[in-house]
Structure 1
């Protein structure tokens, strides 16, 4: 039989994602298997939150451009984008659907929108998203340690800080003697 006939529809996969989330959230046991299921769901939720934040930023940027073009053309402004409770994420060698309840995706999406609009700085966006992740980790999944979100943004900030630190280390008057004169390096 061809594998195309064995594939589930996206609707079936989404139902499975909801069932998996609800099953893990309802676990009463603290067995090794239950803890393992919670940790796996935590990784899925982390990926969902990251993708939802990025979707909020990307979709509002695209919407702003469409709204600008509509206003210029005298047409009605399109509806603002809305978040999805489902995200397709990579799990091993295949893609799966991840589910989070509306309240969580709405907040993550809104934070992505606010970050894109520069209403939130990167550190504040990370702080707010981490608070959301901690809420899901502790109160929904009952994990001992909350999962970490927005690693890509944290890495970007760390890289920028390292570049800034390196640039400041080479500035005139630095303690390492790299500067050659008060006016800056020679040869400029």
Structure 2
């Protein structure tokens, strides 16, 4: 990776990790530390979702590469490397967010299981929220951030669509001769 990042980029990575460590390790909660923790909580929420999406895409790609290797009689390829940093948008533009690799690994496992249909959306959300709760606790947040809002919204839309479908069943006939006629 040497040479890929400018010294400014390297400083951003160092600063992101330093901020995370300061937020998680500070013993006194000053106004500045509290503000840092809240800011990092919001950034970690955004990074969490991006890690999840990238991991799901990576899992699908890796599964395809493994099947191709197996079909060709070759060795299984190396799994994709995980990274502890994520770029997210903030009110001040793009920022680098650091999450320790053990959390990233957990997110990757949940996203992979979801992508490979080993767990449904509700199960993935529940497991992901458990990881988010641990990150929130490490950051000393009063309220854990909500993980995977996009997937929750998708699930809620599916569930409300199913409810409206079942409510409408039997209310109209499929027979074109009786549709729209009173008493049909």
Instruction: Calculate the TM-score normalised by the size of structure 1.
Output: 0.84
Q: Where does residue 187 of structure 1 map in the other structure?
A: 176
Q: Where does residue 163 of structure 2 map in the other structure?
A: 165
CA pair 73-11 structure 1, distance change in 2 beyond 3 A = same
Cα deviations across residues 108-140 of structure 1 (Å, max 9, x unaligned)? 1111111111111111111111111111112x1
For 2:69 and 2:33, the matched residues in 1 are separated by 51
Q: Is contact 1:134-1:146 (8 Å) kept?
A: yes
Q: Shift of the alpha carbon at 1:17?
A: 0.9
Cα deviations across residues 121-168 of structure 1 (Å, max 9, x unaligned)? 111111111111111112x11111111010000000011011111111
Pairs aligned (count): 172
Aligned-residue CA RMSD (Å): 1.8
Instruction: Calculate the TM-score normalised by the size of structure 2.
Output: 0.85
Q: Shift of the alpha carbon at 1:37?
A: 1.4
Q: Is contact 1:52-1:83 (8 Å) kept?
A: no
Q: Is contact 1:122-1:153 (8 Å) kept?
A: yes
Q: Where does residue 96 of structure 1 map in the other structure?
A: 95
Unaligned runs of 5+ in 1: 1-6, 173-177
Comparing 94-103 and 66-75, the one that deviates more = 66-75
Give 1:1-188 correspondences, 5 Å limit.
8-92=7-91, 94-138=93-137, 140-172=138-170, 178-179=171-172, 184-187=173-176
Unaligned runs of 5+ in 2: 1-5, 178-184
For 1:103 and 1:47, the matched residues in 2 are separated by 18
Q: Shift of the alpha carbon at 1:62?
A: 0.6
Q: Where does residue 175 of structure 1 map in the other structure?
A: none
